[in-house]
Amino acid sequence: MSNSQDAMALARLVREGRRYWASPGGRSVWRAERACLGPLCERWFGVNGLELGMAPTLADMCPVRHALRWSPTAELAEGDATLVCPPDALPLPDGCLSLVVIHHLLEVAPDPHHLLQEAARVTDDDGHLILFGWAPFGVAGVSRLWPERRRHLPWRGRWRTPGRLSDWLAFVDFEAQRVDYCGFRLPGGTAHNAMLETLGRRHNLPLGDCYMIHARRRSQLAQTRRDRVAFPRPLAGSALGNASRQCGPQPERVTEGD
C-alpha cells in the first residue's frame, strides 16, 4: 500500500475514532481515563510533550510547556502545534520529549511495533511514556464476542493485555512502572458509575474497560533517584514549535508479526 493510501486509511480511522470519543459512551470512558492520569501527570514538569490518539487531549493538565498533537493529514489537524505524519515515523529528534501519550492507537495502528519504537525513541531518558489500551477482560472486551461489533470502533483491532505490552516495552528498553485500570461499568451501562469506579480503582481490579501503563526507560530506573529531574531545553527552529509539521514520503515498511 502506498503512502497516500496509508494516509487515507488512517484519516478514515481518525474520523471514526473522533465520532466515537464524541459519543456519550466515549466521553464517559475519556473522563475515567483523565481521572486516572491526572494524579500522576500533574506532577511531571517538562518542556515538550506529544499525545498520539483520536480523542480530545487527556494530558492538558500536565505542566508541560509545549504540548503537541498528532494527525495523519493536514485536513484533520486540530491546531498549529500538530505533527502531520504517519504515527510510526515521527519527524522529531531522539529523546526530545518529556512526556509521550499513546491513547488507544496500538490496537488499530497499521504497524504498532514501529509506533511504540518511535514513541520510545523520542522520549527523553528522564521522560514518561503512557499507554492507554482496551482491557480484553472488561465489559467492553466481553462485548467483542459478537463479530459484528468488531467492524466498528472501539471494538476494532487487536486488544492486548498489559502483560503483552510490557513485553513490547522491554524490547524498546522501557519498563512498566504501574498499571491502572479504569472505566468500570455494568453491562449495558456507561463508565459513569462513581461507586463502581471508586471501588475498581481502589482495588485496581482488571475488570475495567481500559487500562493505563506508566513506563520509564530502564537506564533511568537503574540510576540513583535525583531530587530534581532535568528536562531538555525547548527544541529550536522548525524542529518543534507552533507550526504544523509535515513529514515527507516514507519508505515502505514490512509489518512485523505480533
User: Which tens digits make up the pLDDT trace of 205-229?
Assistant: 999 999 999 999 997 655 544 444 4
User: Which tens digits make up the pLDDT trace of 114-160?
Assistant: 999 999 999 999 999 999 999 998 888 888 888 888 889 999 999 99
Which of the residues in the chain have pLDDT under 70? 1-2, 191-192, 220-258
pLDDT the model gives residue 187: 82
Taking CA atoms, 213 is separated from 31, 83, 132, 177, in Å, by 17, 23, 7, 7
Angle at the Cα of 169 from the Cα atoms of 249 and 240, rounded to 5 degrees: 40
Residue 232 grid cell: 531538555
Residue 151 grid cell: 467492524
Domain 1-84+94-217 has CATH 3.40.50.150: yes
Q: Which residues, in sequence order, are CB contacts of 251 under 8 Å at separation 6+?
A: none
Q: Which residues, in sequence order, are CB contacts of 33 under 8 Å at separation 6+?
A: 58, 103, 132, 182, 183, 210, 212
- Per the rule left: phi > 0, alpha: psi between -120 and 50, beta: everything else, 105 is alpha
- E strands, the chain, are 46-53, 64-71, 82-84, 97-103, 123-134, 174-182, 210-217, 245-246
Query: How large is the greatest C-alpha to C-alpha distance in the chain, in angstroms?
Result: 52
Q: Which residues, in sequence order, are CB contacts of 42 under 8 Å at separation 6+?
A: 61, 62, 63
pTM across the whole model: 0.84
Angle at the Cα of 203 from the Cα atoms of 214 and 194, rounded to 5 degrees: 95
Distance of CA 110 to the CA centre of its chain: 15
**Among 50, 54, 83, 32, which residue's Cα sits nearest to residue 185?**
32
